[in-house]
Amino acid sequence: MSNRAPIDLKRRKLLILAAFAGVGATTGLSLKAFSDRNRSQPALIGNALGQNKQYYTVVADWQGNAIFKLSLPERAHGVAISQESTMGFVDAVAFARRPGHFFQVFDYITGEKKVLIDASPDRHFYGHGVFSQDGRWLLATEGVRNTSQGLIGVYDVAAGYHKVDEWHGIGIGPHEIIRLDDGSYAVGVGGVHTQGREPLNLETMQPSLTRLSRSGEIVSQVGLSDKKLSIRHLGYNHDGVVLCGQQYRGEPDDYPALIAMQDVGGELTNLNAEPEEWARFNHYIASIAVVDDYVLATSPPGNCYGIWSISQNRLLELNSLTDASGAISHDGYFYISSGSGETIKRLPLENTLANQSHVLWDNHWTAIPK
C-alpha cells in the first residue's frame, strides 16, 4: 500500500547492506545447508534488487544460488517461463513492476537477452504474464493509462513478441494471470484505479477472481463480500481449485482473511485463521504455492509465511522469515525466497532446510518446467 512505501524502501536498503556483507537473516528455522545435488542447474527464476537502485532478473539453481544475473532498466515483478518439452523454446519474460513500461525476454539456459518490449504510450503493464499452452502467445496483464481499465495483451512469440490482440472487459487493475491445466486462465483483478501507485477509488473498488477461456472469453467473475480486499496473487492445486491472495485496502486496524479459494464455477471461500494471525501478514499476500493438500503463502511486509490445510481449512503453521517473498512447489517440496537472501526448501510440515543465496529476491519465484 502506498503509505508503507518509505518503510519498505528502508527495510530493503538494510537487507541489501546485510546481504552484500554476507550476513544472513535469523528466522528461527533450521540452518542446514541444501544438498549440492542439482547445483548450478537452472531451476528457478525471480527478480532481485541490487545496490544503488540496480535491478536484475536472476536464474538460479534449486538452492537459490545465482547462475545468471540480467540487468533490467527498472524494478521487475513476475516472470513467465516457456516449457521446452511442449513449446519447443526456452524463453522467459520478466515484467516490470506496476505501472510498468517494459518486459524483457531472455533465454533461461544461456542467460542471453533477446528483446525488450516497451508498453505502448496509452498502456502499462501490471507485473505478470503467462505463455499459452502451445507457446504461440504471451499474455500480459495490462491497463489503460489514466483509467486503469484492465485488459490482457496478446503477443505473438514467433513474430518477436509483437502485440496482436487485446482481451477487454475484465475490470480495473488486473494483476496476476495463471494458466490452468485445460489451457484456460485465471486472473486476479485488483479493482484499484491508480495514478502511479497512488490509489484513487478505494470507496468504489470492484475486485474479482476472473476465469477466461483459451481465447479470452469471460467464463466467470466472482468477488468477495469485502470490496476492500484487492485480489492480487494466485495459486492452483491442479484439481480445479484456484487460490487468491489479497491486499487489504480498508481500515489499518482491521485484519480480515487474506486468502480465498474457489472450485470450478463456485464462490470464493476464505481460508481460516484468527485475526491476530492475519495481522502478522500486514494486509498483503505476495506468493502462493500448493503441495497436495497444503497451501503456503508469503508476506514481505509481514516478514512471515503460513501453511494451511485445504481439506481442514485451517492454518497449520505461521513462521517468521525476513521479507518472505517468492514461493513455488516442486516434487512435493515448497521452495521459498526472501529479500534477505535466505532461501528455504521444506516438506509441507517438516524437514526445513535453509541456504544463504546472497540474492535479494523480490516478490516472486517461478520454477523452470521440465
CA gap 244, 305 in Å, rounded: 15
CA gap 66, 44 in Å, rounded: 9
β partners of residue 362: none
User: pLDDT tens track of the chain, all 370 residues?
Assistant: 333 333 455 555 555 444 444 433 333 333 334 444 445 789 999 999 998 889 999 999 999 999 999 999 999 999 999 999 999 999 999 999 989 999 999 999 999 999 999 999 999 999 999 999 999 999 999 999 989 999 999 999 999 999 999 999 999 999 999 999 999 999 999 998 888 888 888 888 999 999 999 999 999 999 999 999 999 999 999 888 999 999 999 999 999 999 999 987 789 999 999 999 999 999 999 999 999 999 999 999 999 999 999 999 999 999 999 999 999 999 999 999 999 999 999 999 988 999 999 999 998 999 999 8
This prediction has a pTM of: 0.89
| SS3 at position 228 | coil
Name the region of 258 (left: φ>0; alpha: ψ -120 to 50; beta: rest). Answer: alpha
* DSSP notation for 293-335: TEEEEEETTTTEEEEEETTTTEEEEEEE-TTEEEEEEETTEEE
Contact 243, 290 (CB under 8 A): yes
How many beta carbons lie within 10 A of that of residue 213, not counting itself?
13
CA gap 99, 61 in Å, rounded: 30
